[in-house]
Amino acid sequence: MKSYDIAVMGGDGTGPEVTRENIKVLEVVAAKFDFKLNFTDFDLGGERYLKTNEALPDSAVEDLRKFPAILLGAIGHPDVKPGILEKGILLRLRFELEQYINLRPVRLYDERFCPLKDKGPDDIDFVVVRENNEGLYTGSGGFVFKGTPHEIAVQESINTRRGVERCLRYAFEYTRKRNKDKTLTLCGKTNVLTYAFDLWERAFHEVGKKDFPEIKREYAHVDATTMWFVKNPEWFDVIVTDNMFGDIITDLGAMVQGGMGIAAGGNINPEGTSMFEPIGGSAPKYTGQGVINPLAAIVSGAMMLEYIGESEAATTIENAVIKITREKIKSLAARKMGYSTSEVGDLVASEIS
């Protein structure tokens, strides 16, 4: 029997609650498709940081590196200053494990949950491929004359040909494999960021023309992209963009698909350890009440299965989520689902078995 070692980081706030439901569903689907998942828990997050003053020990990074995949619940604690856990855990893992892709599908499962007028599941079905290791996120820059009236703060966007090209190649391959409209849109700002997106644009067309001639190449400025997400989301198939723009447009994407309760993503190193997460965060005000929506975590579990090569099992989870979303769930928002967190997990699990 095939077996996979999976690291689990429930993390902070509602992270452990949604992760529990994710694992419940994964175990049911694994039994059905005859493979085994061996879960190993890692106690990382705000609570641990408050006790030990260490966000992420080096040894944990090395341990995590041995796993093909990590399931992450959420990182973020109300008693820890913003930035410490984000940079110390989430961004550090993305960088050190070279998860250079942040894959964020935007798919509406049921018309009722779309905030856009006259748009349905056929209109909202696209994927954002966000570069995840470079851009404004590298921490390059600094202060000069800090705290004086002459203070200067510089925050640089790093775009390497290698980093950009591997992201573009992943996006082209993904568009090919997805086989929907065979259209890849580069989202940038070539009219203002004339160095960074000049490199992106040249690499985009060079790589596309040479190695992916059947994939149609489109370009959209980031500001126009946000407009079209709302006005004509059906125009998009796969979008590729840099780290910062990807961060921003995927929150809008999450709203268009029904909210944080359903939005999942993967931090992907195609050759190493990838990390899957519901993108909603730790939601401290709902912690421990059993009211948070676990569907985003469950969908991230399906993405994990797809990544390790269990595609059929992945599709089975997603189809069960679609069915439950359409037939049972009253709202995708916390406290309004019509069911508790664990009841939603049970619904998906029994749909599968």
Q: Which does 237 bind (CB under 5 to 8 A by kind): ligand IPM, Mn ion, none?
A: none
> Binding string to Mn ion for residues 201 to 240, with x set by CB under 5 A, is what?
----------------------------------------
DSSP structure string for 69-106: EEEEEE---TTS-TTHHIIIIIIHHHHHTT--EEEEEE
Q: Which does 125 bind (CB under 5 to 8 A by kind): ligand IPM, Mn ion, none?
A: none
Nearer to ligand IPM, 17 or 277 (CB): 277
Nearest in space to 29 (alpha carbons), one of 340, 319, 341, 327: 319
Nearer to ligand IPM, 101 or 352 (CB): 101
Nearer to ligand IPM, 119 or 189 (CB): 189
Q: Which does 131 bind (CB under 5 to 8 A by kind): ligand IPM, Mn ion, none?
A: none
Cα(100)–Cα(134) distance, rounded to whole angstroms?
Answer: 8
CB of 297 to ligand IPM, least distance (A): 14
Contacts with ligand IPM by CB under 6 A lie at 86, 90-91, 247, 279
Cα(180)–Cα(184) distance, rounded to whole angstroms?
Answer: 11
Residue nearest to ligand IPM (CB): 86
CB of 159 to ligand IPM, least distance (A): 17
Q: Which does 90 bind (CB under 5 to 8 A by kind): Mn ion, ligand IPM, none?
A: ligand IPM
- The answer to whether 247 contacts Mn ion (rule: CB under 5 A) is yes
Nearer to ligand IPM, 237 or 247 (CB): 247
How far, CA to CA in Å, does 259 sit from each of 30, 131, 222, 311?
Answer: 28, 22, 21, 25
DSSP structure string for 224-281: HHHHHHHH-GGG-SEEEE-HHHHHHHHHHHHHHTT-TTT-EEEEE-TTS-EEEEETT-
CB of 134 to ligand IPM, least distance (A): 12
How far, CA to CA in Å, does 324 sit from each of 110, 114, 255?
Answer: 10, 16, 19
Q: Which does 86 bind (CB under 5 to 8 A by kind): ligand IPM, Mn ion, none?
A: ligand IPM
Taking residue 262's Cβ as centre, other Cβ atoms within 10 Å add up to 26
CB of 95 to ligand IPM, least distance (A): 11
Nearer to ligand IPM, 125 or 247 (CB): 247
Nearer to Mn ion, 17 or 247 (CB): 247
Whose tokens are 């190449």? That residue is: 217
| Length of the chain, in residues | 353
Cα(237)–Cα(126) distance, rounded to whole angstroms?
Answer: 5
Nearer to Mn ion, 247 or 306 (CB): 247
Please work out the total of residues on this chain that contact Mn ion, with binding judged by CB under 5 A: 1
Residue nearest to Mn ion (CB): 247
CB of 250 to Mn ion, least distance (A): 6
Whose tokens are 């993390």? That residue is: 11
Whose tokens are 């309004």? That residue is: 336
Q: Which does 303 bind (CB under 5 to 8 A by kind): Mn ion, ligand IPM, none?
A: none
- The beta strands (E) that lie in the chain are given as 2-11, 35-41, 69-74, 101-107, 125-131, 141-144, 152-155, 183-188, 216-221, 238-241, 264-268, 274-278
Residue pair 314/305 in contact (Cβ under 8 Å)? The answer is yes
225 φ/ψ angles, rounded to the nearest 5 degrees: -60, -45
CB of 252 to ligand IPM, least distance (A): 12
CB of 277 to ligand IPM, least distance (A): 7
Cα(294)–Cα(302) distance, rounded to whole angstroms?
Answer: 13
Nearer to ligand IPM, 208 or 259 (CB): 259
CB of 289 to Mn ion, least distance (A): 24
Footprint of Mn ion (CB under 5 A): 247
